[in-house]
Each structure stands twice: as C-alpha cells, then as structure tokens.
Structure 1
Amino acid sequence: MLQSGDIAPAFSLPDADMEIFDLASVAGKHNVVLYFYPRDKTPGCTRQAADFSDHDDEFARYDCIVVGVSPDDCLTHAEFRDQEGLSIRLLSDSDTEVCRLYNVWHEREVDGMKKMGVRRSTFVIDKQGRIRHALYDVTPRGHAAAVFELVKELEPQHAKRNRQE
C-alpha cells in the first residue's frame, strides 16, 4: 500500500468530458486530492462527490484540485456530474489500471460472494508529487471536510499568515 512520503504514481485518465487529466502536468502548480470510489450514483459515492464539490472553492484557495476516480466510463461520469451538479473532475479508470497502481483494487465480499472492487481511498498529494496523506477505507460522511483540514496543513506558514491579513 502507498504511504505518506511515497512519490505518487503518475497517470493520465479521461474525465467526464473525455479530456485527459495528467497528474504530472499539475506538478509544481497544484496540490491534488485524489480519491477513489466504487461507483457513480450510489448513496455513499454521491454524498462524497457532493461534499467535495461543496468545498471545491475552499480547496482551490489552497491551490488544490480535487479529482475522483472510479471504473465507470466517461458517459456515466457525465450523467452523474450533471444530475448531481458536481463541480469536481471525475476520471474514468475503466480498465482499473490506476486503481491497481494505487493499490485500491481489491477483492471484497458482497452478499456472500467474492468480487473485485474499489477500496474507498483518498490520497493528498503535494505540489512536488509526494503523497502527504494516504487514507484507506474512508467513510463518505464528513470526509471532504476532514481532507480539507489536511490540505490546509500543506501550505507554508508565511502563506497562511498572508491569507489571514
């Protein structure tokens, strides 16, 4: 499993508009909250995406981009985004390559049957591309607010003072 201090594995994935998001392209410019979730349009995933969207402006004030990743395709992401009024980018990992890269694709038991699925996980990645926080098996309720507190810690002290003035 990836841990705090590891270099975030590089990847490129299409978003709901079929535009490519390349993690390497934001290096040096933005912090990234990269969260993995099982499926669009389920109660927990909807809550999590809506909460991140509700705080999107706050994350942006700290030079932070929030992106969600699931195995759903781009069209499903677009429908989900539009139905729920989401502002964050949703990335399609339909072949689960990036889920495997981040070690969040695992076997789980559902209704007595074993099947593969996404382990709900979040990675806070700094501008240098280093994982600062790796959170596994997260609960959707209140997660976005907790992650925002972690993002605020990434900013140097002098910048925090300037923001308060």
Structure 2
Amino acid sequence: MLETGSPVPDIVLEDTDGQAVRLSDYQGNHAVLIYFMRSMSCPVCNRHVHDLIRRRDELAADNVRVLVAVPEDRHAAAEWKARRQIPFPVLTGRRGTPHEMIGLSRKVFGSLQQSGTILLDPDGIIRHAHGATMPTNAYDRKAITAAVQALGTRA
C-alpha cells in the first residue's frame, strides 16, 4: 500500500468511457480522494460510496475531487455507474486492477480483494492512505475528514 507522505506514482487508470486517467493530471489543481471498492457488489462498499455522494458538496468546497476505483472491467463499471447514478468518475485498470497498482492486493488465499482510500494533495503527495481486507475498516470517515481539513484547500 502506498504510504502517507510519499509522492504518488504516475498511475494510469481508465474511466468508464475508455479514456486514460492519470493521477498526475490533477496535480496543481485539486486534491484527489480515491476510494478503492472491494467489488461493485459489496454492500458495505456501496454504502461508503453513498456517503461520499452525500458529502460531495462538502468535499468540492474543500477542492477535493472524488474518484471511485473498482476491480471489475470497464463495461461492468459503466453499467454499475449508470444504474447507481454515481456522479464521480469510476476507474478501472488498463492492465491489472487499480488495487494492484497501489498495493491493495488480494488476501486470504486470494479470495478477498482489499479496499481502501487514498487522499492526494494538489502537489501529488499522499496525505491519507488506508487499506483493509474487511470493507467495514477500509473507509475511515473521521481520518479522511481530518486529512482533508489539514490540507487547507477550501476554495
């Protein structure tokens, strides 16, 4: 898993339209919060995404862009995004999963995909990084809120 205080590697993901999304594209402009879902069918992960949706105005006021990364393929991600009316970009991996790219690997004999969150400041430095095998532990709202407030990026 990526570590707090380190620069984010230039990871290239793909949105549901098939367009390349580089995390470096956000540098200098916005902080970025990426939520890595265990799977689109995970009810706990879906509740976390809905919390992000409820908080989107608050996060936007803090100049934070939200991205949701899923381990499934682009076509399945596009269907899920449309069906659930997700207002954020939903990202998949171009080669492998987004999770593998940041070190959120499968645990317990390869059967459970880890989930987690990463907050990047506008300079591309990781200000919050948290992953967990159990999705109930992967989204720490209080820690995310504290990390966002520490950025001091309110627009």
TM-score tier (shorter): 0.7 to 0.9
2:143 paired with 1:120? no
> Is the 2:70–2:97 contact (alpha carbons within 8 Å) kept by the matching residues of 1?
no
Find the structure with the greater CA-based Rg.
1
For structure 1, the residue ranges without an aligned partner over 5 or more in a row are 109-113
Shift of 1:32: 0.7
1:49-87 deviations in Å (ceiling 9; x for gaps): 221122122111111111111221122112211222211
For residues 131 and 42 of structure 2, what CA distance do their matches in structure 1 show?
A: 19
> Is the 2:33–2:118 contact (alpha carbons within 8 Å) kept by the matching residues of 1?
yes
Q: How does 1:79-94 map to 2 (within 5 A)?
A: 79-93=79-93
For structure 2, the residue ranges without an aligned partner over 5 or more in a row are none
Query: Could you say which residue in structure 2 is the equivalent of 1:64?
Result: 64
Q: Give me the CA root mean square deviation.
A: 2.4
Query: Could you say which residue in structure 1 is the equivalent of 2:151?
Result: 154
> Is the 2:70–2:98 contact (alpha carbons within 8 Å) kept by the matching residues of 1?
no
Shift of 1:99: 2.2
- Give the length in aligned residue pairs: 153
Q: How does 1:2-151 map to 2 (within 5 A)?
A: 2-93=2-93, 95-96=95-96, 98-108=98-108, 114-137=109-132, 139=136, 143-144=140-141, 146-151=143-148
Counterpart secondary structure, 2:136: coil
Shift of 1:100: 2.4
Distance 1:143 1:83, change over 3 A: farther
Counterpart code for 1:38: R
Counterpart secondary structure, 2:6: coil
Identical-pair percentage: 24
Question: Quick check: 146-155 or 35-44, which moved more?
Answer: 146-155
Distance 1:132 1:99, change over 3 A: same
Displacement over 3 Å in runs of 4+:
140-146
Counterpart code for 1:152: Q
TM-score, with normalisation over the residues of structure 2? 0.84
